[in-house]
Structure 1
């Protein structure tokens, strides 16, 4: 099956194939998945998958194995890990797959129908593993680009020229992980160029490599896409697609305040949920962003949200419920179990999402209330909870919104969803896929009542 995937994946539009096979004589069902990045060539995809196929043999005889490089991903398991409506029969590619003595041996074992023989035959090839090959990617009209496994490798001079020597006038953002510049390539394409901070730290190399590997495989309409990268000396630079509307916080309490109506805010709430559900539950590995907040949500030309800045993203093994890790995030958006105990799970993002939902509805920052009459020291989450307890949800709604433009019950429901996301116990917070169902469902929530959140002082 893995041999067939190597042959089938490069030939399928989108370079993504899911398949399964039943081992004869009532044996287990084996599920497998192959994927290459869309920017790779067909030959590059095939070479990359072949290298990962060889690497994966060290996984045998375990019932779950995976291997990935910057350009491709390959996995098998006796447990289903993808929707069944995405399955493709790849047996028709078997003739093309049997192109070597090794292929003929494996093909014969598959025909024999014995899972034990399959595992033994594959396991015997562990010592003949090959090193991953460099993948040649077509560069088209991108100047200064070179070979790289995955995203485009830009030359430093190209990015320096695009940003006018990383000038202050081209600076469009700054955060803990670096400075972002607007850049214009020689062909007129506008990009966002992030120059990572702390260039002399060894950790930057790890963060840079991790981010490049991760983001080059992530493609979703609600996630900012990584176009390429650059490494020169101590400089580590990432190149993203450019969002001219900038970040969500500008629309809520910045220079573009009052410009989002209710329909647009609802679409942003739903789009962020869609992007996080993809990262947590739909991508072939579970990804936790760790720093979801309004200035990490960019808006595209249609004001659709794009989750940005995966510099803090981490992969969580499927057999772990949480990891203890050094804190990295923004107080006010960060869940108590992560801020206090360093316990990291996807529910950390769910908590942050709940805070962002309350900000979108209220038009106020999570750690600063500016409306007259607010209780001294009261933060947005406290205010939302106190209003909810008194049945006065709608008092939280941004005064800039016309009450005629939104349904009161819908707004109440979404406020309650925000509070459900900020439950004190991570286990009681919903998954992002469940949140999407709630958002799309008509009427108020049934049999789901939030409990009082834990309020953390952020000053």
Structure 2
């Protein structure tokens, strides 16, 4: 009898839990201001439209159902309940085909995401994730990020405690037996269905244009047991983020249910998107004949003005260039954004062009425009092709190339604007507050991470060819962004780089470059070594006013190491607030990267491992290190190197009597 009583109570408890789980479906055909818990940039407009992010760059937005929902009960089986949701969304980019990073539907144990990072992190994590997050998300991702293994810049993926999707597919749906692609950033509303089967431990996702029926075949379907991932009670909601380019992420309607199908949305009652609002038609007050007469009077003067204006803003556009259309800006927009490339908007002048700050009309997007003169048409097609390819580079420590414009003999490259300017200003401009060691080490690790992406993690090998503090830009939070890809070269993984002109900045150029004329990952590693010493020591690789017997920074660091005072080489502006271990690591790593034998230099993957504490530098003494350098350098000739390498910012002085270069002549 006691056993029967326990069984009855257990069955009653299960029934109650099931009833509870079934009793919380909700449907929003548009939203009221108190419908959801909002944070960051999310807001609900007067028409009931949920806007997760607006046209602001580098921001996040979150919206959650206000109450936690019970997804499982650990006192019984511990299995996660089934759930079903559907929602209608739209993404409208500021610039055609260039958008923020997308949005996601998610299950999370908390609504606190203030520390989450925007851009490729989608406002979900502030690091690479981990099992302690207990987050499950369905991402609608609009930017390809190789660091997370994204398949393209237009996909749906399932994320579990990480932004590396366990499964993802390009966006589209099957209709009448054929697959039809969709573009997430088209600006048109689309409907998404997410169904999780707790018994089969399977999640299915479908997507279709608004007013299309739910596709019979799921776009993404994968086994996924949420029982060990989520907690008993979770919040459900949405997250979104923008990056260097921004756009608006909207949710028009949403329904959700546990252990049953999500209630259907009433598509006729959904709020209108801003750009889809209906305009009233008014009858013309002016008779047609009078309107025609006015037009005739205006045409003559207008034609003259238009022709003159066309001359001013004339651009070169050839048939082959049409394939790069999404990356091309109009000269008129860039002229307006920079106030006619006025001197007051001039940010700086480099060896390859002048850079202007601008604000794009309509979108208010802050940009930096670099004007490059191109006196010859030879090779311009290949140059623009490479620029278009680099426009697809996406990494948090690379300055995003938004696009370009070509007019007569000018090339204009459009980048995201970096408010804090270039790193060299903080190292050498004494009117600015010096960077502390924590900031410098963060910058070093960021640039190393970006170079690893260029060398090994992107679809092609990208050789930057001009790594230096002047080409590292800093955002508002002093996060580093490696920029200026005007000298960069690309080649396929597994192939060999081609011979090219020797260009760059003296002091950062690898000695073998003058002999082979080939830029490789090893020549970039050499420049990165010079950059390491530059940041740690607060001095350029070659100093015009340095002591006559030691104008080369490498010499000074070697001498300090040999005299057991390597810390004396570091920037005195650091004071006493720095990590001795980190400073010594950076100085010795800078010397290793400066080795004259390219094969003796560490790869960028090894550099990142060393900087992240995942590996240790091999034991070496300064005497052994210098002797090794001298032996390796004995077959290198620097005569041609000195005479053929232009320098944009450093004097062309080389001390051939230094220990590093001994035997070179």
Shorter-chain TM band: 0.5 to 0.7
Q: Do residues 14 (structure 1) and 93 (structure 2) align?
A: no
Out of 398, 410, 424, the position equivalent to 2:571 is 398
1:221 paired with 2:338, answer: no
Is 1:178 aligned with 2:353?
yes
The answer on whether the counterparts of 2:327 and 2:391 sit within 8 Å (CA) in structure 1 is no
8 Å Cα contact 1:369-1:380 kept in structure 2: no
Equivalent-residue separation in structure 1 for 2:413 and 2:438 (angstroms): 33
Q: Does structure 2 conserve the Cα–Cα contact (< 8 Å) formed by 1:252 and 1:363?
A: yes
Aligned length: 352
Pick aligned residue for 2:494 from 319, 336, 339: 319
Residue equivalent to 2:266: none
Q: CA separation of 1:200/1:320 partners in 2, compared to 1, >3 Å: closer, same or farther? A: closer
Classify the secondary structure of the residue corresponding to 2:354: strand
Provide the C-alpha distance between the structure 2 equivalents of 1:363 and 1:261, rounded to a whole number of angstroms.
11
Match of 2:602 in 1: 430
Secondary structure in 2 matching 1:246: coil
Unaligned runs of 5+ in 2: 1-137, 157-163, 180-245, 249-273, 275-312, 643-651, 654-665
SS at match of 1:336: coil
Asked whether the equivalents of residues 609 and 615 of structure 2 are also in contact (C-alpha less than 8 Å), the reply is no
Question: Deviations for 1:292-344, whole angstroms, at most 9, x for unmatched residues?
Answer: 11111111111111011112111123233543222121111011111333132
1:25: which partner in 2? none
8 Å CA contact 2:374–2:410 kept in 1: the answer is no
Q: Is the 8 A contact 2:550 2:556 kept in 1?
A: no
**CA spacing shift, 1:431–1:159, aligned 2, 3 Å:** same
CA distance in 1, matches of 2:176, 2:449: 37
Whether the 8 Å CA contact 1:183–1:190 is kept in 2: the answer is yes
SS in structure 2 at match of 1:202? coil
1:286 has 2:461 as partner: yes
2:508 touches 2:527 (CA, 8 Å); kept in 1? Answer: yes
The aligned runs of 1:5-404 (5 Å cut-off) are 13-14=140-141, 34-36=151-153, 88=167, 99=178, 149=324, 151-187=326-362, 188-211=364-387, 213-254=388-429, 256-368=431-543, 370=545, 374-403=547-576
The structure-2 alpha-carbon separation of the partners of 1:199 and 1:375, relative to structure 1 and needing over 3 Å to count, comes to closer
State the shift of 1:276 in Å: 0.3
The answer as to whether partners of 1:17 and 1:88 remain within 8 angstroms in 2 is no
User: Which structure has the highest strand share of the two?
Assistant: 2
Moved more, 428-437 or 247-256: 247-256
Instruction: Tell me the distance in 1 between the aligned counterparts of 2:368 and 2:466.
Output: 19
Name the CA distance, whole Å, in 2 between partners of 1:434 and 1:97. 52
CA drift at 1:94: 10
Shift of 1:174: 2.2
- Asked if the contact 1:247–1:298 (Cα under 8 Å) also holds between the matched residues in 2, the reply is yes
Instruction: Give 1:452's match in structure 2, choosing from 624, 629, 641.
Output: 629
Q: Which residue of 2 aligns with 1:124?
A: none
**Structure of higher RCO (CA pairs closer than 8 Å, 6+ residues apart):** 2
Shift of 1:388: 2.3
Matched residue, 2:592: 420
Q: Distance in 2 between matches of 1:399 and 1:325?
A: 39
Residue 310 to residue 355, structure 1, CA distance change in 2 (3 Å): same
What SS does structure 2 have at the residue aligned with 1:35? coil
- Residue aligned with 1:343, SS: coil
- Matching residue of 1:62: none
Two-structure CA RMSD over aligned residues (Å)? 3.8
- Whether the 8 Å CA contact 1:163–1:183 is kept in 2: the answer is yes
Structure 2 contact 594–601 (Cα < 8 Å) conserved? yes
Hey, what's the Cα distance between the residues in 2 that align with 1:148 and 1:401?
50
| Larger of the two Rg values belongs to structure | 2
Distance in 2 (CA, whole Å) between partners of 1:177 and 1:289 is 15
Q: Pick closer, same or farther for the CA change 1:443–1:369 going to 2, 3 Å.
A: farther
Task: Output one character per residue of 1:27-62: Cα deviation in whole Å (capped at 9) or x when no partner.
Answer: xxxxx98423x6xxx8xx9xxxxxxxxxxxxxxxxx
- Residues 142-172 of structure 1 show CA distances to partners (whole Å, capped at 9, x for unaligned) of xx9x987464432211111221211222221
Change (3 A) 1:370 1:268: farther
CA contact (8 A) 2:426 2:435 kept: yes
Distance of 2:611 and 2:247 partners within structure 1: 41
2:356 match: secondary structure: strand
CA distance in 2, matches of 1:352, 1:385: 17
Contact kept, 8 Å, 1:182 with 1:191, in 2: the verdict is yes
Give the SS at the match of 2:396.
Answer: coil
1:205 to 1:320, Cα distance in 2 relative to 1, 3 A: closer
Instruction: Write the deviation string for residues 191-244 of structure 1: whole angstroms up to 9, x where unpaired.
Output: 101112224443344323321x12221111100011222223333211110012
| TM-score of the two chains, using structure 2 as the length reference | 0.47
> Counterpart of 1:160 in 2: which secondary structure?
helix
Quick check: 1:412–1:444 contact (8 Å CA) kept in 2? no
2:41 aligned partner? none
Greater helix share, 1 or 2? 1
Please identify, of 197-206 and 336-345, the stretch whose mean Cα deviation from structure 2 is larger: 197-206
Please tell me whether the aligned partners of residues 369 and 379 of structure 1 are also in contact (alpha carbons under 8 angstroms).
no
Indicate if the aligned counterparts of 2:373 and 2:409 stay in contact, CA closer than 8 A.
no
Q: Do the aligned partners of 2:144 and 2:394 also contact (CA within 8 Å) in 1?
A: no
Alpha-carbon shift at residue 441 of structure 1 (Å):
1.3
